[in-house]
Structure 1
Amino acid sequence: MTETWGPGDGGILRLPSGRLVRGRGLHHPQPEGAEPVFGVYLLGRPAPAVTWEARWLRWPDFRLPADREEARRVLAEAWARAATERVEIACGGGIGRTGTALACLAVLDGVPAGEAVAYVREHYHRRAVETPWQRRYVRTFAPAAKAPPSGGR
C-alpha cells in the first residue's frame, strides 16, 4: 500500500520521478493532515521525539552535516522510501539545511548536481540552500558508492 503525500499538501517537493517529499521547519507548527511515515531531522542537537520512524543527522544551523557518509546513507534511504511512503525532511527553519537535503534528494533522483539548487528553489522555496558551502556540498554530492558486483572476472 502506498502512503505518499498528496500533491496539494503544504511544503511538498515533487521530484522528477514523481516522488513527493515534505520539507518543513520544526520551529513552525506541524502541518495539518497526515503524519510522516519516516522523517529525517537536521539539527545540531538530537531531534525531539516523534511517533513515526525517524533519523537524526547532526547538522548545525548554516553548516554541513557532521558525518557526510552517514548523511549520504540517510538521504539515500529517504529518497528510496519516498517512492511509497510519506517522507519528511526538516530543520529548524525549513530552508537552509532542509533545502540542502532536498537538493541532494533531487541529485539522487537524477537532477544534475549543478542544477539541483535551482530545482529546489523553483519547486520548494525560493531561498532554499542558504550558504555558499551548502551550495558547494550539493554540487559535489554523489550517491554512496555501490559495492562492486560479485562473481567471476
Structure 2
Amino acid sequence: MTAPWDPAAPGVLRLPSGRLVRGRGLRAGPPDGPAPTYALYLLGRPPAAPPWEFRWLRWPDFRLPSDRAGAYRLLREAWRRTATDRVELACRGGRGRTGTALACLAVLDGVPPAAAVAFVRRHYHPRAVETPWQARYVRRFDAGR
C-alpha cells in the first residue's frame, strides 16, 4: 500500500469512508509534495503522459464526459484505487470537471447523490461543479450505471 495523501495538503478531499483523493488544476503546474500513483485526467484532449499510471477521460471544458458508461467505469476504478493508492483527479482549472468527478466519487463512497455537490463544495472548493448540467450529472450518477 502506498503512503496516503497528507489530509491537510491543498486539494485533498477526505471522503466519508476516510479515503483520500486529490483534486487539482493542471494549469497551476505540479504541486509540492508526493506525486500520485494513479491519476484520472478529465480533458478534451489527451494529456502529456506523466511518469505515473494514469487514464484519460475525454471531457470537454464546461461539459460532460463524452462516454458516460466509460466515465462511470473510470470513476469507479479511481474510487476503488483510493483504498491503496494516491489518486489524483484533475482538469485544466481544477473546479468544474474535477469537482464533478470528486462529487461522483463521493456518491460511490456513500454520499447521497442530492448532497454530493454540497459535500464537495464544503470540503474541496466552494465553486466546484460549475454548471447546472454538471450538478444534474452528479444527481443522476449512481442511477446511470
Answer whether TM exceeds 0.5 for this pair: yes
Query: Does 115-124 or 43-52 show the bigger shift?
Result: 43-52
Matched-pair contact (CA < 8 Å) for 1:73–1:144:
no
Give the structure with higher Rg (CA).
Answer: 1
Is the CA contact (8 Å cut-off) linking 1:23 and 1:98 kept in structure 2? yes
Matched, 1:74 2:91: no
Q: Secondary structure at the match of 1:80?
A: helix
Distance in 1 (CA, whole Å) between partners of 2:8 and 2:137 is: 30
Q: Which amino acid aligns with 1:128?
A: A
Q: CA deviation at 1:144?
A: 7.2
Q: Distance in 1 between matches of 2:36 and 2:10?
A: 13
After TM superposition, give the deviation of residue 86 of structure 1 in Å.
0.2
Q: Does 1:114 align with 2:111?
A: no
Give the structure 1 partner of residue 6 of structure 2: 6
SS at match of 1:55: strand
Tell me the distance in 2 between the aligned counterparts of 1:143 and 1:36.
29
What is the one-letter code of the residue matched to 1:40? Answer: L
Name structure 2 gaps, 5 residues minimum. none
1:78–1:87 Cα contact (<8 Å) kept? yes
Q: How does 1:1-153 map to 2 (within 5 A)?
A: 1-142=1-142, 145=145
Contact 1:72–1:143 (Cα < 8 Å) also in 2: no
Instruction: Return the alpha-carbon distance in structure 2 between the equivalents of residues 31 and 106 of structure 1.
Output: 23
Q: Tell me, in whole angstroms, the C-alpha distance in 2 between the residues paired with 1:10 and 1:84.
A: 20
C-alpha deviation, 1:32, in angstroms: 0.7
> Shift of the alpha carbon at 1:141?
0.3
User: Identity rate of aligned residues, in percent?
Assistant: 68
TM-score by length of 2: 0.97
Distance 1:14 1:138, change over 3 A: same
Between the aligned partners of 1:143 and 1:52, the Cα distance in structure 2 is 31
How many equivalent pairs are there?
A: 145
3-state SS of the aligned residue for 1:54?
A: strand
Measured in 1, the distance between the counterparts of 2:16 and 2:48 equals 31
Q: Is the 8 A contact 1:76 1:143 kept in 2?
A: no
Cα deviations by residue, 1:14-61 (Å, 9 ceiling, x for unpaired) = 000001000000000211110000000000010121000000000000
Deviation beyond 4 Å, 4+ runs, structure 1: none
- What is the alpha-carbon root mean square deviation over aligned residues? 1.1
Q: Which residue matches 1:149?
A: none
Structure 1 residue 8: deviation in Å?
A: 1.6
